[in-house]
């Protein structure tokens, strides 16, 4: 079976979206390599980090929903995105707590909390607390743009203003 056909086309644009948790869990490493480009694979499946200030969503203010690029699960809303000026898109909360899962990360000589997609277990980024950004949650979800796909709200297409 072609792994690309395991996702349902729900947006009318021919893009793969809405991969079920069962289909995500059944996907082999070889299948992930088929459906993700090399950078997406390195970040999403190997917990890499894209270079700062290079991601497509760092400065966008387009309204909509940010999905997991690997499986299409809805993860963040544009209303929770804020300008942290850290080089990666930042949000103060996920769409719902059950959309993400957290893992203690002690790599690179520091203690951090990794954020993964709860549906397909792909690496999204890290969450930091108490940095003084003045957000409602005092959290900064520092996400890799390559881990996300923005689905613009109705009428928001083309309104890619920057922060």
Spatial CB neighbours of 132, under 8 Å, sequence gap ≥ 6 = none
Among residues 68, 117, 120, 142, which one is catalytic?
A: 142
Residue recorded with tokens 């520091």: 110
Q: Are strands 139-143 and 64-68 parallel, antiparallel or unpaired?
A: unpaired
Query: How buried is residue 122: exposed, middle or buried, by Cβ count under 10 Å (0-12/13-18/19+)?
Result: buried
Closest Cα to residue 68, out of 94, 30, 34, 88? Answer: 94
**How far is Cα 22 from Cα 121, in angstroms, rounded to an integer?**
12
Enclosing H/E stretch for 50: none
Task: Judge whether 142 counts as a catalytic residue.
Answer: yes
Which residues are tagged catalytic?
Answer: 142
């Amino acid at each position: 079976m072609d792994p690309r056909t395991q996702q349902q086309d729900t947006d009318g644009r021919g893009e793969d979206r809405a991969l079920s948790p069962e289909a995500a869990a059944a996907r082999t490493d070889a299948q992930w390599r088929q459906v993700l480009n090399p950078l997406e694979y390195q970040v999403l499946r190997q917990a890499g980090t894209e270079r700062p200030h290079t991601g497509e969503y760092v400065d966008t203010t387009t309204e909509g929903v940010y999905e997991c690029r690997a499986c299409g699960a809805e993860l963040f809303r544009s209303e929770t995105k804020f300008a942290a000026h850290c080089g990666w898109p930042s949000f103060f909360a996920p769409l719902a707590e059950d959309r993400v899962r957290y893992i203690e990360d002690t790599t690179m000589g520091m203690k951090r909390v990794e954020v993964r997609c709860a549906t397909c277990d792909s690496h999204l980024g890290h969450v930091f607390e108490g940095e003084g950004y003045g957000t409602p949650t005092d959290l900064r979800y520092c996400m890799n743009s390559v881990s996300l796909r923005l689905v613009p709200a109705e009428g928001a297409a083309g309104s890619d203003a920057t922060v």
